[in-house]
Amino acid sequence: MSVTGNALQMRVMGKRILTPAICEFSFATDDAGPLPEFFPGAHITVETPSGAMRRYSLVNNGETPDRYVIAVKYEPASRGGSRSMHEQVEIDTALNIQPPENSFPLGDAPRYLLIAGGIGVTPIYAMSKHLAKRGKPFQIIYCTRSAEETAYLDEMNNAFGSALQIHHDFGDPDKVYDFWDHFAAPQATYVYCCGPKPLMDEIKAISGHWPEGRVNFEDFKPVEVVRPDDTAFDVTLKKSGRIITVPADRTILETLREAGLKVASSCESGTCGSCKSGLIAGDVDHRDLVLMEDEKLTRIMICVSRARSGRLVLDL
């Protein structure tokens, strides 16, 4: 098992199609005992059937939960995680899941503006239910391409009524939602935004004059794991002498996993340090957010970093 820490083995208790590309999964333990609690904005890390570790926001209520509920979008360019969830996970499938963590916590504020784009609705939906239950004033702006591609559309309309604004752009750049009126003047409002990079980049650009900490983002991809100009390179594993070729569109970690090697991992986004490995030789393109400068001479995060040129030799 590549999961580190106190992972739980959980089974799929429910699988529900939300849209042609989004599926909801509910997980519980075999003994149906109490699970670690969580607050809105929390996520779990799932070891997918492909072996890839992926983070998914929790949709359900985190007070004394008896299950964890997530929604997963099928990504055509997936390197294995989302595809394996959609194609291989069925009712009663057992998966290893790390307890909830929260890097997108909901703070206390007079009022809230919640912005969701596509599958980014998952933490926003959880926050909305939490705020509605407590009678807090909030507004939701939920942007998608079309009604057919809008997860939880009917449920959210029924639950939140006029507090919910749905916007469809139908794939037309000229019809994207104009957020400027919401940000022109700083307000005593806390903003929480989750969605694709262009949406979050836009909100960051138009909210720069707001007080620090007032506008918050959830982003599970803090670094570009694979870039368009990446090229293949070789990795020599010192302990076995084995040479592995890492394709341009794969990471070292993914390639080692596909070659049948067991390597510890957790976030697979260059932020946790679980896959830190010894570096013996090579010119490394360090893409992580973990290593100190002096560590980069002898360590590498194999979930995101790769060779800048030539071959790498790793202490594996």
CA-CA distance, 149 to 117, in Å (whole number)? 11
* Residue 35: strand pairing partners: none
CATH 3.40.50.80 maps onto the chain at 111-218
Residue 82: alpha-carbon gap to chain centroid: 11
Instruction: Indicate the CATH number of 8-101 among 2.60.40.10, 3.40.228.10, 1.20.120.1730, 2.40.30.10.
Output: 2.40.30.10
- The string of pLDDT tens digits covering residues 263-284 is 888 888 888 888 999 999 999 9
- Encoded amino acid at 58, one letter: L
Around Cβ 25, how many Cβ atoms within 10 Å?
26
C-alpha dist (Å) from residue 164 to 31, 189, 197: 38, 16, 22
Token pair for 42? 């929390």
pLDDT for res 2: 40
pTM of the model: 0.84
In the DSSP assignment, the letter for residue 191 is E
pLDDT for res 219: 76
pLDDT for res 4: 45
- Encoded amino acid at 102, one letter: N
CATH 2.40.30.10 maps onto the chain at 8-101
pLDDT for res 3: 41
Q: Determine whether 168 is exposed, middle or buried from the number of CB atoms within 10 Å of its CB (0-12, 13-18, 19+).
A: middle
- Encoded amino acid at 200, one letter: M
Q: Answer whether CATH 3.30.420.40 is correct for domain 233-314.
A: no
Q: Which residues of the chain have pLDDT under 70?
A: 1-5, 32, 77-78, 220-222
CATH 3.10.20.30 maps onto the chain at 233-314
pLDDT for res 226: 86
Domain 111-218: state its class. alpha beta
pLDDT for res 5: 54
pLDDT for res 268: 85
Buried b (16+ CB within 10 A) or exposed e, 236-254: bbeeeeeebebeeebbbbb
Closest CA to 294 of 304, 286, 305, 302: 286
H or E element: which one contains 157? Answer: helix 153-160
